[in-house]
Structure 1
Amino acid sequence: MSRVCQLCHKRKQYGRQSRHKKGVAGKQWSKRAQSTLRIYDVNLQHATINGQKMLLCAKCLKLLRGKKTQDILPKTAAK
């Protein structure tokens, strides 16, 4: 099972991460911060909606709280 929200299809994203390093006086860029790739994972939660177990991100769970699930869920996921 892939780590994807079943409602909005949100998945992990890649971004840049940089460490802070001070430069030496006069040579500001000789020891600059290296930038590396980092993975931002989705905050997925197991939820039971209309008798079905689903993997939903936290944002979708907030949307579903207090609203009718028939209006928000697509017809394929509601069956």
Structure 2
Amino acid sequence: MTPLTKRGHGWTPNLDHVRAVSYIRQSKRREDDSASSPEAQRTKCEALITAKGWDSAGHFADVGKSGWDPKVVRPEFEEIPSSRR
């Protein structure tokens, strides 16, 4: 994973143009391969991004990947470009 970029002293974000990504994770893949929880998460994220007037810069999801186990690789999380984190 690429670390966050450090900003110089006095740096302030440009809130006139905000780009947002959504990252959805469900730790257990369900036996019926249901994706209802990730779909609900994505829908809520899309609604928030739209409501805030932000530009969507992508959606990423890791289903069946633990968020607790430090050895688990979450490929979609790793795909989020560092400039978007």
Higher helix share: 2
Q: Give the number of the structure with larger relative contact order, counting CA–CA contacts within 8 Å between residues 6 or more apart.
A: 2
Higher strand share: 1
- Which of structures 1 and 2 has the bigger CA Rg? 1
TM-score relative to the length of structure 2: 0.23
